[in-house]
Amino acid sequence: MLGRDEFEITLELRPRGPPGAPFSSLRDFYMIRPLSVLAVAAAMLALPSTSSLADRAKADACAAGLSPDAKLIYSSIIGKMAPGVDLVATVKSQARSLVMAGKLERAQAQSAAQSAGGCLRQAL
Per-residue pLDDT tens for 102-117? 999 999 899 999 999 9
Residue of higher predicted confidence among 114 and 35: 114
Q: What are residue 7's phi and psi, to 5 degrees?
A: -65, -40
The mean predicted confidence, pLDDT, of the chain is: 75
The pLDDT-based confidence of 43 (bands split at 50, 70, 90) is low
Give the pLDDT of residue 44. Answer: 60
Provide mean pLDDT across the span 44-57.
61
Helix (H, G, I), strand (E, B) or coil at 25: coil
The pLDDT value recorded for residue 99 is 93
The SS3 call for residue 75 is helix
